[in-house]
Structure 1
Amino acid sequence: MGSTLQMDLYRTGAGLFLFCCVWGCFIPTTTYKRLGLMAHSQAASMGTMAIAAGVLVQHLSTPLQEWEARIIYWGVWVSWPMIFTQIAAAYWGANKMLPIAGEAAPGASPWKENVVAVAHIAAVLGNIPAWAIICWRL
């Protein structure tokens, strides 16, 4: 399971980096550029995190159980919806979850703000247990 998980994490990280590069070309098309730049930066940092998780998984002190590997995989994968909602926020002007990046944005309708919030909360709730397992097993 370790090598499969490792490759899945590498693929996710590489995909996030590729997405970061492509999305960077579209930032000028957004209504709120700082929110667009935030999505770009977040894709790069989450790509780095996914690759780091892949590297660390191969150095764990004991093999992962199936459920632990699933938590790590989905905990990292949940970065994708978060990044897509950041892109949506750059067009919608949603600023409740990202008040610094969305400083110039007026805010969006409640359902749009909720979509962004749910994706960000899911990312946090996915990443914390994933990284707790990695740290515990090192």
Structure 2
Amino acid sequence: MEKEGVRIGLLELQAKQFTITSLVSDNDGKIKKMMEDHPRFSQIVHHCDFWHLVKGLNKVLRELAKRKECPNLEYWRRKIVDHCYAMHEKFPDDRNTGLEYMKSALAHVCDRHTHFEKVVSIHIGTCVYSG
């Protein structure tokens, strides 16, 4: 039903000569597939809204934390989610830098807050958030 509403809305806007360059929606696979496959929508960049991304991450971490081989993950789950929100707020227009800091969350789990350059693919020097 949501997919159909998005489809109808986009077609109506296009019929009224609106140029649509991007769409933000929840993390619905049906909408994502429609945006990729529909010939009138293929040029529209589809983004998942941040809240839904973090909600999905939180759900995955919560399930992983139930495993006996992940005894400390429940403790870190909330900190990782908080880290996501802090980076989203700090870098609203620079997603690449925000992603670099999100990768630093892995170092947080190991209680490392400096020398991230030693961690593969993290190109920052010091943590800006340790909460």
Shorter-chain TM range is 0.3 to 0.5
Kindly indicate whether structure 1 or structure 2 has the higher relative contact order, using CA contacts under 8 Å at least 6 residues apart: 1
Specify which structure has the higher proportion of strand. 2
Could you tell me the TM-score, scaled by structure 1's length? 0.34
TM (norm. structure 2) is 0.36
